[in-house]
Amino acid sequence: MQADDIKNISIKNYLNKQGIYPAKEYSGYGMYRSPLRNERTPSFKVDYNRNLWYDFGVGEGGSIIDLVMKIKQCNFIQAKVHLSNISFMHNHQETYPFSFHRNPVLNNDKANGITLIKVKSLEHPNLLEYLQSRKIDLTTAREHCREIHYQTGGRDYYAIGFANNAGAYALRNSRFKGCLAPNDITTIEKGTETIILLEGFMDYLSLLTMQPQEASVSAVVLNSVNNMEKALRFLSGHSSVKLYLDHDDTGRSTAIKLHNLGLPVTNCAEFYAGYKDLNDFLCGKKQLPFQQIIPKSKRIRL
């Protein structure tokens, strides 16, 4: 088998072969208890369509070869040999190869004019300095983010990357805010009845810096307010939805729409009244009077 074919072996089928099954399944992906460590709450995601895995507990992910290298504690060549030799029995008689996904996984293909070069642990001094300037706890950032090296316009760049449900990344550095397509929401499943909704990953990192206990609560990061419809199914499966949206027209109208849909929302924006968002609150960067879209006395309470 060629390396590209091996990478297309279904991760779900491979895990089934190892006796590892999803704790929860959704449309297009499953949440597992991580096969890389002991955990009670599933935080290991397998994207069935893109055939990628991501362990939110350690901030690592990749292809099936990457997974086998970690599970078996072996090198790249040994992982390829292991996967090449595996088959499973159907009806205890016939032997079938693993099923294959022909959808391309995240690689060096161009997405939104951006070519992904490398994904690694978050360690570049400039990125860490940027996070510190935003008062973000670095241990928290390293746990939830990766360092993304990419190329656009013939030039090389790097940014903080926050993985989304499509296997791509929201990107951020001191001069750039964007994404590696496809843009999608990020769901962080902790199995709690309460779920937190935030607009961007800097908001999520800010919340965890201020209130580390919230790391144990399920969350949805929109990565763009335009992704709201994608989040509705996840939100509707919880008994309480805590909103940490921006203090602007979009944030307020989004909160009202969710309330009108009958979702059990609690608007937590009063926590950082007078600030545009959670990170501005963390940094002590207040809105100027003309930036405050609506006076506090007239704010709509949900």
Identify the three-state secondary structure at position 110.
strand
Mean pLDDT of the chain: 83
Dihedral sign computed on CA atoms, order 158, 116, 168, 179:
positive
| Structure tokens, 96 | 């079938």
Q: What pLDDT was estimated at residue 111?
A: 54
Contact call for residues 32 and 42 (beta carbons, < 8 A): yes
* Model confidence pLDDT, tens digit, residues 84-111: 776 433 333 333 233 333 333 344 445 5
Q: What pLDDT was estimated at residue 138?
A: 96
Burial of 290 (0-12, 13-18, 19+ CB in 10 A): exposed
Instruction: Read off the pLDDT of each residue in 39-44 and give the average, rounded to a whole number.
Output: 87
* Model confidence pLDDT, tens digit, residues 141-152: 999 999 999 998
| Cross-strand pairs, 45 | 31, 54
In Å, what is the CA distance from 210 to each residue of 57, 99, 126, 204, 218? Answer: 19, 45, 23, 10, 17
Instruction: Read off the pLDDT of each residue in 225-234 and give the average, rounded to a whole number.
Output: 89
* Model confidence pLDDT, tens digit, residues 250-280: 899 999 999 998 999 999 998 898 999 999 9
Q: What pLDDT was estimated at residue 223?
A: 95
Is residue 240 predicted with pLDDT exceeding 70? yes
Contact call for residues 11 and 64 (beta carbons, < 8 A): yes
Of the ranges 36-50, 60-74, 177-191, 210-224, the best mean pLDDT one: 210-224
* Model confidence pLDDT, tens digit, residues 48-60: 888 999 998 888 8
Alpha helices in 121-200 (DSSP H): 125-133, 138-144
Q: What pLDDT was estimated at residue 76?
A: 81
pLDDT band at 75 (very low <50, low <70, confident <90, very high): confident
> Domains in the chain, please, with CATH?
3-96 (3.90.580.10), 110-180 (no CATH), 186-298 (3.40.1360.10)
Residue 189 and residue 45: Cα distance in Å, rounded? 9
Share of the chain above pLDDT 90, in %: 48
- Long-range interactions of 280-289: CB distance < 8 A, separation 24+: 281/206, 282/134, 282/135, 282/136, 282/206, 282/209, 282/210, 283/134, 283/135, 287/247
